[in-house]
Amino acid sequence: MSKEFDYTKLKHVTSVDQSDREVPYNLRQSGPTKVEMLISTRVRKSPYWHLSMQAGCWRATVYNRIYHPRGYVKPEDGGAMVEYDAIVNHVTMWNVAVERQIRVKGPDAEKFTNYVITRDATKISPMRARYVILCNSYGGVLNDPILLRISKNEFWFSLSDSDIGMYLQGVNADGRFNCTIEEIDACPVQIQGPKSKALMKDLLGDQVDLDNMPFYGLAEVKVGGRSCVISQSGFSGEAGYEIYLRNATLYADDMWNAVLEAGKKHNLMVIAPAHHRRIQAGILSWGQDMDMQHNPYQCNLGYQVSLSGKGEWNKKSDYVGKAALEKMGKELREGKKPYKLQLVGLELGGKPIEDYAPDFWLISNENGGDPVGFVTSPWFHPEKKTNIAMGYVPFDGTLNANGFPKGKVGSKYKVHLPEKYSDKAGQPVDAVVVDIPFKESFNANTREVVKG
């Protein structure tokens, strides 16, 4: 055993009941790993990578097998909370080219898309987008992309961190749907913050009426003279837009530099994706807050399955996971518990958490004992002056007014924070279940009854 680090701490904790899963969620997925990570040619650079480097990116992770910038302001200069100030008070640009764009195009594009997502694709009009989920036949969440409907027969899946492109091709391996499925050279950036509309107006001029553009509305525009699709959407809870540059490998500099120029008078800052702000908004991160063995109900996405939690199912003849999801919904209405753990919001003690958590920190009951759950997404909430988090605790059967599962507000737990955040070394901090979101979003909260 090393004198510098106790490597037994990397072992999995087995007391959290995950007997409803084939593979327990890895409660020590990352942690301190004192080795040099090898990056080979299996990981690629996005068209914006060199531009992120110019903007000061000093650390990155890998997402969808692409380098993903995750920090521009260094800790000695204030770190991620300086970036937080920029997004809540000004405007920011993020390199999110890791959101691979999978295009489904052809006469059966709508039929195919409707089969692989849980909500009703037929109700999505051309030049509109929606947040959607794809589930496997067991009801597990495979991906939660933004789905853009470019035209009657063309959809783009803007992916979170899992290989849905290959999955979609596999679903149609027998060619029963008359459509093509392929990744395209379209890469997004996000423009997020209260000054985002002002920046976009300067950037786009009279190309589009932003004042009357609906949330998740799309438009074809030119940015820096290059063809783009824009969406009023984002991963932050602040006002914002996404710019999807076509032929991004060729024209990344033109679009990026045009945004920088327009952003000068608006105090634009290039930052990493604002996980501190998305946690406040209750926005989930695939692979962190859920995976393919979490069903939508237990991670607060039940509204993606039914019109309400009371049995008014989407009027779709079939989609992947339909039988399993409707069975779970029925069991929940009957007072049963078809799974072990529920995602909840927590306010917790400890010193301010102002950086990404490398582990799923453990949760015990109020009176202590072996861990019964784990934190997935923690951060410090500057306005509340307390730490907040999303995490999994044992499901107690509580449903909200719409019949969807939720954590019982006021339930108390203990969270085992690492020493750097603990009030007292070796002692867990108090935590209490609270409603999600922790801070309202600029646009209406997306956790609502599905209407298309």
Task: Give the pLDDT confidence of 354-366 residue by residue, as tens digits.
Answer: 999 988 999 999 9
- Whose tokens are 């004042």? That residue is 211
Q: Where in the chain is the domain with CATH 3.30.1360.120?
A: 39-273, 279-434
Q: Per residue in 232-290, pLDDT tens?
A: 999 999 999 999 999 999 999 999 999 999 999 999 999 999 999 999 999 999 999 99
Residue 8 confidence class, pLDDT cut points 50, 70, 90: low
Residue 6 confidence class, pLDDT cut points 50, 70, 90: low
Residues in the chain: 452
pLDDT of residue 452: 45
pLDDT of residue 401: 87
Flag whether pLDDT at 41 surpasses 70. yes
List the one residue out of 189, 182, 187, 141 whose CA is nearest residue 165: 182
236 Ramachandran zone, left/alpha/beta (phi>0; psi -120 to 50):
alpha
Amino acid at 116: V
pLDDT of residue 312: 81
pLDDT of residue 5: 46
pLDDT of residue 393: 98
List the one residue out of 124, 115, 183 whose CA is nearest residue 150: 124
Contact in structure between 59 and 71 (CB atoms under 8 Å):
yes
pLDDT of residue 28: 57
Residue 2 confidence class, pLDDT cut points 50, 70, 90: very low
Flag whether pLDDT at 311 surpasses 60. yes
For domain 39-273, the CATH architecture is 2-Layer Sandwich (3.30)
Residue 26 confidence class, pLDDT cut points 50, 70, 90: low
Residue 442 confidence class, pLDDT cut points 50, 70, 90: confident
Contact in structure between 159 and 99 (CB atoms under 8 Å):
yes
pLDDT of residue 181: 98
Flag whether pLDDT at 24 surpasses 50. yes
Flag whether pLDDT at 189 surpasses 90. yes
- Average pLDDT over every residue of 147-154: 98
> Which CATH number does the domain 279-434 belong to among 3.30.1360.120, 3.40.50.450, 3.40.1280.10, 3.60.21.10?
3.30.1360.120
- Largest Cα separation within the chain, whole Å, is 65
User: What is the torsional sign of CA 319, 123, 326, 284?
Assistant: positive
Q: How are beta strands 154-158 and 180-184 bridged, if at all? A: unpaired
- Average pLDDT over every residue of 426-438: 95
- Average pLDDT over every residue of 35-48: 87
pLDDT of residue 32: 63
Give 41: exposed, middle or buried? Use CB within 10 Å, 0-12, 13-18, 19+: exposed
Token pair, residue 82, equals: 């300086």
Compute and round to an integer the Cα radius of gyration of the chain.
Answer: 22
pLDDT of residue 29: 62
